[in-house]
Amino acid sequence: MITGDQEKVRKINRSLVLNTLRLHAPVSRAQVANFTGLTRGTVSNIVNVLIEDGLVFEDKLEDSKIGRPSILLGLRPDGGAVVGVEVGVDFISVLLTNFVAETLWEVRVETSPSQSQTEIINQAEKYIDQALSIAKEQELRPLGIGVGLPGLVNTRQGNLIVAPNLHWTNVPLRLIWNQRFHLPVYIENEANLAALGEYYFGVARNVDNFICLTSGIGLGGGIMIDGRLFRGGHGYGGEIGHIQRDPQGEQCGCGRIGCWETQVGPRAVLQRVKKEFQTHHDQSLLDACSGDLNNLTFEIVVQFASNGDAICRKAIEEVAVNLGVGIADLVNIFNPNLVIIGGAFISAKDIMQSIIEKTIFSNALQPSTDNLQIKFSERNTEACVLGAVAVVLDDILREMVIS
Ligand SMILES: [Zn+2]
């Protein structure tokens, strides 16, 4: 008889083998045993089951390390299909990949603030249906649906608690889509998924301790500790954008005053430009906004700053300093090896990076900054939806219990 503990050990060992193949394939059974610390007999048993399940292939290949043919193992691209979904404040993005996360199909459409919650969910369902029918055509079994949302998410229950910028509260999306699609559904905060996307596919590959900041309408943070996403007791952890930094400051979208995201988001850059404009008229900037500063966008500011416009450059530089000061605090608390800056700020990398680095290194405690790297995401908008794919794979490959 197999006890619950034995079953758990078996699942963990299976995940260890799968994750080793993800990271190191093609490898032999003996190499898998070395990487995992499992016995060769245990590895062989697990591999045989994985081959039967259609998740792993074996092939007689030249092993460059030993210089002669050997039976090597890898993950099968056709081991299954994964659907990643991001419901953003003003868009829906859906991505279909195979078992090794190669893109098979994707779509990204804008949504309008006038659309109701039901309309947006129905629209997302239509694209998920489309993705699943493509998987079916290619004879790939669907393994699950990962979903990123811009708000507080209870990952254990699969509920969106509140998404202030979408004006959604208490949406049991996992239940809704479990019933609709009859597949495992993983609901996560978008910033956590962006971190997971960077860990699997981006600049944080193989970095186990890092912080990923994503700047959009708000400022989100995903924190990876020892290769696991930090979620806190109920999954609400990591809301670093709402650390209060200025009690006399601006009102935040969360209703409180002076949150960090009011100082460092793209909106803060626009406010600084508009304020400075009152004392320093800038006709070319006004022309770029069709004569009305309400049309000013972060993209225009970055473009003008890059061309040497003093007002725009100063606004971005000041925000970069505020970002660096806050990150220095996070470095003191978490001692990460890497801080990733993603989202809207990627387009301002050339202006911001050196200022952010300088501010962090002069504000954080010195031992914490030894070996610290600051990188901008190379994924731009797709980091979160890739993370939505990763959260499904992560559960299969690493036995991360989130449900
Ligand atoms: Zn706030």
Cα(141) to centroid(ligand 1), Å? 42
Cα(82) to centroid(ligand 1), Å? 34
Averaged over 384-392, what is the pLDDT? 89
Q: What's the structural domain count of the chain?
A: 3
Averaged over 312-318, what is the pLDDT? 95
Q: Give the model's pLDDT for residue 398.
A: 67
Cα(316) to centroid(ligand 1), Å? 21
Cα(244) to centroid(ligand 1), Å? 7
User: Does some domain include residue 64?
Assistant: yes
Are residues 268 and 188 located together in one domain of the fold? no
User: Does some domain include residue 241?
Assistant: yes
Instruction: Give the bridge partners for 72, in sequence order.
Output: 59
State which of 55, 75, 95 marks the end of a domain.
75
The two three-digit tokens of residue 272, written as one number: 């600084």
Cα(215) to centroid(ligand 1), Å? 14
SS3 of the chain: helix, strand, coil, percent, to 5: 50, 25, 30
Are residues 183 and 226 located together in one domain of the fold? no
Are residues 309 and 324 located together in one domain of the fold? yes
Averaged over 186-213, what is the pLDDT? 91
Confidence of residue 281 (pLDDT cuts 50, 70, 90): confident
Q: Structural domain of residue 92, as residue ranges?
A: 79-200+383-398
Cα(170) to centroid(ligand 1), Å? 19
User: Does some domain include residue 158?
Assistant: yes
Are residues 267 and 171 located together in one domain of the fold? no
Three-class DSSP category at 112: coil
User: Does some domain include residue 304?
Assistant: yes
Q: Give the model's pLDDT for residue 244.
A: 92
- Out of 182-196, 323-337, 374-388, least confident range: 374-388
Are residues 221 and 264 located together in one domain of the fold? yes
Read off the DSSP letter of residue 294. G
Helix boundaries (H) for 291-382: 298-306, 310-334, 349-363, 366-369
Please give the radius of gyration of the chain, using alpha carbons only, rounded to the nearest integer: 23
19-75: pLDDT as tens digits:
889 888 889 999 999 999 999 999 999 999 999 989 999 887 766 666 677 889 999
CATH number of the domain to which 121 belongs: 3.30.420.40
Q: Give the model's pLDDT for residue 401.
A: 38
Are residues 157 and 227 located together in one domain of the fold? no
Q: Give the model's pLDDT for residue 254.
A: 81
Sequence-distant (≥ 6) Cβ neighbours of residue 32 within 8 angstroms: 17, 20, 21, 38, 43, 47, 73
CA distance 83 to 142: 8
Cα(354) to centroid(ligand 1), Å? 27
Between residues 131 and 69, which one has the greater pLDDT?
A: 131
CA distance 110 to 60: 48
Are residues 239 and 353 located together in one domain of the fold? yes
Sequence-distant (≥ 6) Cβ neighbours of residue 274 within 8 angstroms: 293, 296
> For residues 73 and 55, is the Cβ–Cβ distance under 8 A?
no
Cα(87) to centroid(ligand 1), Å? 21
The two three-digit tokens of residue 245, written as one number: 């930094």
State which of 33, 56, 75 marks the end of a domain.
75
Cα(257) to centroid(ligand 1), Å? 7
Q: Give the model's pLDDT for residue 65.
A: 65
User: Does some domain include residue 309?
Assistant: yes
Q: Give the model's pLDDT for residue 266.
A: 87
Would the CA dihedral through 330, 334, 335, 339 be positive or negative?
Answer: negative
Would the CA dihedral through 345, 155, 171, 382 be positive or negative?
Answer: positive
Are residues 133 and 103 located together in one domain of the fold? yes
Cα(267) to centroid(ligand 1), Å? 13
Cα(261) to centroid(ligand 1), Å? 7
Cα(332) to centroid(ligand 1), Å? 22
CA distance 153 to 265: 22
Averaged over 139-144, what is the pLDDT? 96
Cα(19) to centroid(ligand 1), Å? 37
Instruction: Give the bridge partners for 91, in sequence order.
Output: 110
Are residues 101 and 139 located together in one domain of the fold? yes
pLDDT exceeds 50 at position 400: no
User: Does some domain include residue 403?
Assistant: no
Cα(217) to centroid(ligand 1), Å? 12
Cα(280) to centroid(ligand 1), Å? 30
The two three-digit tokens of residue 37, written as one number: 């610390």
Cα(336) to centroid(ligand 1), Å? 24
Cα(212) to centroid(ligand 1), Å? 18
Confidence of residue 399 (pLDDT cuts 50, 70, 90): low
Cα(253) to centroid(ligand 1), Å? 6
Sequence-distant (≥ 6) Cβ neighbours of residue 194 within 8 angstroms: 148, 212, 214, 220, 222, 342, 343, 377, 379, 383, 384, 387
How far is CA 257 from each of CA 150, 209, 242, 274, rounded to the nearest angstrom? 20, 31, 9, 20
- 394 membership: H or E segment, kind and range: helix 383-398
Cα(128) to centroid(ligand 1), Å? 32
Cα(239) to centroid(ligand 1), Å? 9
Averaged over 273-286, what is the pLDDT? 88
Are residues 35 and 83 located together in one domain of the fold? no
Cα(378) to centroid(ligand 1), Å? 27
Averaged over 82-102, what is the pLDDT? 93
pLDDT exceeds 90 at position 3: no
Are residues 278 and 181 located together in one domain of the fold? no
> For residues 229 and 401, is the Cβ–Cβ distance under 8 A?
no
Q: Give the model's pLDDT for residue 200.
A: 86
Cα(222) to centroid(ligand 1), Å? 16
Read off the DSSP letter of residue 198. H
Are residues 212 and 311 located together in one domain of the fold? yes
User: Does some domain include residue 253?
Assistant: yes
Burial of 387 (0-12, 13-18, 19+ CB in 10 A): buried
Cα(264) to centroid(ligand 1), Å? 12
